[in-house]
């Protein structure tokens, strides 16, 4: 069988779809993280080798793979694209490689015609818009060190900041302290600092703490409620410029773990978007961006 591989690289995990030329999906898999801006070359080589081993497990021949479509953060950087292509070649794949931003693949997974608006808040955050003529509008998504407002990583950083500020008197006491300590199995601030700054710590490890925010907010914790509002403000700020440049697009999709799993934040984001555009049709979607990578790769193959 001739087949294609669609890849959605994320800071926490990578989703993979294997499909035939008709687009019918024959297998779904999960591999390690693929975030080229936040990983060493050896780390993303290991992930790619893990992905390329999948066809053999499905009793497919490597030489029958017609194309690989990859969506990942940081892939717009020419040096990154070259490095990823080189790693693929060194790993034994010599077929067609198509690379897209993670926002582009997420949008293509939602909209079959591949145009519209999507706001994503997962480990990172981005708003991505695409016109019917193919023109791209992007806002955000520049990585956790300088951007990614409203993402799981941003939420976790704000939570941990609230915990240490409360500990030394700069901030008010917060239930987040108890929740974070219990989650990490620690009892003191020095242990928290040791965890955060450990050499092996990945951003996905910290982003995973974001799930605690909802629990604290439901309890009425003032710090948690403030973080919720700040997160919603950041995410609406990503959407606003894209809406302004795509006045004809009323459909706005919400994706990523923060928006799909935290109904409180999702609701606040909806309210803020509707305050900007009251005729917007907002839908929360849980479609794998790996399917979008497949759809775009298939379009390129014709």
CATH of residue 189: 3.30.420.40
Question: In angstroms, rounded to a whole number, what is the distance separating the alpha carbons of residues 45 and 64?
Answer: 22
Q: Looking at the structure, do residues 86 and 119 belong to the same domain, yes or no?
A: no
Residue 248 has pLDDT above 70, yes or no: yes
State residue 273's pLDDT score: 97
Q: Give the model's confidence band at 119: pLDDT under 50 very low, under 70 low, under 90 confident, else very high.
A: very high
Residue 77 has pLDDT above 80, yes or no: no
Q: Looking at the structure, do residues 164 and 187 belong to the same domain, yes or no?
A: yes
Q: Looking at the structure, do residues 216 and 134 belong to the same domain, yes or no?
A: yes
In percent, the amount of the chain with pLDDT more than 70 equals 98
Residue 256 has pLDDT above 80, yes or no: yes
Q: Looking at the structure, do residues 197 and 80 belong to the same domain, yes or no?
A: no
In a domain, 300, yes or no: no
Residue 170 has pLDDT above 80, yes or no: yes
Q: Looking at the structure, do residues 193 and 46 belong to the same domain, yes or no?
A: no
CB 73 within 8 A of CB 49: no
In a domain, 109, yes or no: no
Q: Give the model's confidence band at 134: pLDDT under 50 very low, under 70 low, under 90 confident, else very high.
A: confident
In a domain, 14, yes or no: yes
Q: Looking at the structure, do residues 59 and 201 belong to the same domain, yes or no?
A: no
The helix (run of H) or strand (run of E) holding residue 265 is helix 263-276
Question: In angstroms, rounded to a whole number, what is the distance separating the alpha carbons of residues 1 and 221?
Answer: 56
Q: Give the model's confidence band at 37: pLDDT under 50 very low, under 70 low, under 90 confident, else very high.
A: low
Total structural domains in the chain?
A: 2
Q: Looking at the structure, do residues 134 and 230 belong to the same domain, yes or no?
A: yes
In a domain, 297, yes or no: no
Q: Looking at the structure, do residues 23 and 91 belong to the same domain, yes or no?
A: yes
Residue 44 has pLDDT above 90, yes or no: no
How far apart, in Å, are the Cα atoms of 20 and each of 17, 60, 96, 193?
A: 10, 11, 15, 48
Q: Give the model's confidence band at 43: pLDDT under 50 very low, under 70 low, under 90 confident, else very high.
A: confident
Q: Give the model's confidence band at 13: pLDDT under 50 very low, under 70 low, under 90 confident, else very high.
A: confident
Q: Give the model's confidence band at 292: pLDDT under 50 very low, under 70 low, under 90 confident, else very high.
A: very high
State residue 74's pLDDT score: 72
Of 236, 279, 226, 225, the residue nearest 259 (C-alpha): 236
State residue 152's pLDDT score: 97
CB atoms within 10 A of CB 81: 16
Q: What is the dihedral of CA 144, 255, 70, 133, to 10 degrees?
A: -110
In percent, the amount of the chain with pLDDT more than 90 equals 57
Q: What integer is the mean pLDDT of 155-169?
A: 97
Question: In angstroms, rounded to a whole number, what is the distance separating the alpha carbons of residues 213 and 145?
Answer: 21
Q: Looking at the structure, do residues 137 and 272 belong to the same domain, yes or no?
A: yes
The helix (run of H) or strand (run of E) holding residue 87 is helix 78-90
Q: Give the model's confidence band at 41: pLDDT under 50 very low, under 70 low, under 90 confident, else very high.
A: confident
Q: What is the dihedral of CA 252, 258, 264, 270, to 10 degrees?
A: -10
Q: Give Cα 215 distance to the centre of its chain.
A: 22
In a domain, 222, yes or no: yes
Average model confidence (pLDDT) across the chain:
90
State residue 136's pLDDT score: 85
Of 206, 234, 7, 257, the residue nearest 127 (C-alpha): 234
Q: Looking at the structure, do residues 214 and 84 belong to the same domain, yes or no?
A: no
In a domain, 293, yes or no: no
Give the domain extent around 244: 115-286
The helix (run of H) or strand (run of E) holding residue 17 is strand 14-20
Q: Which of 38, 71, 100 is a domain's end point?
A: 100
């Amino acid at each position: 069988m001739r087949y294609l591989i669609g890849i959605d690289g994320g800071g926490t995990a990578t989703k993979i779809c294997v499909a035939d030329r008709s687009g019918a999906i024959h297998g779904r898999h999960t591999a390690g993280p693929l975030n080229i801006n936040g990983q060493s070359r050896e780390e993303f080589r290991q992930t790619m080798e893990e992905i390329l081993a999948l066809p053999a497990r499905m009793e497919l021949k490597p030489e029958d793979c017609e194309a690989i479509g990859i969506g990942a953060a940081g892939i717009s950087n020419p040096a990154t694209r070259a490095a990823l292509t080189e790693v693929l070649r060194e790993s034994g794949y010599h077929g067609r490689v198509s690379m897209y931003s993670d926002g582009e693949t997420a949008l293509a997974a939602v909209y079959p015609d591949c145009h519209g608006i999507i706001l994503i808040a997962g480990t990172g955050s981005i708003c991505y818009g695409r016109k019917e003529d193919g023109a791209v509008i992007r806002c955000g998504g520049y990585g956790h060190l300088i951007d990614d407002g409203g993402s799981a990583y941003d939420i976790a950083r704000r939570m941990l900041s609230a915990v240490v500020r409360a500990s030394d008197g700069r901030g008010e006491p917060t239930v987040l302290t108890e929740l974070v300590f219990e989650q990490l199995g620690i009892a003191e601030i020095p242990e928290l600092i040791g965890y955060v700054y450990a050499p092996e710590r990945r951003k996905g490890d910290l982003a995973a703490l974001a799930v605690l925010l909802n629990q604290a907010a439901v309890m009425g914790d003032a710090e948690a409620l403030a973080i919720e509002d700040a997160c919603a403000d950041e995410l609406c700020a990503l959407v606003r410029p894209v809406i302004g440049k795509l006045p004809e697009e009323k459909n706005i999709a919400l994706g990523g773990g923060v928006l799909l799993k935290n109904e409180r934040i999702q609701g606040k984001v909806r309210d803020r978007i509707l305050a900007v555009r009251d005729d917007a049709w907002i839908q929360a979607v849980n479609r794998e961006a790996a399917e979008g990578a497949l759809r775009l790769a298939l379009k390129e193959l014709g």
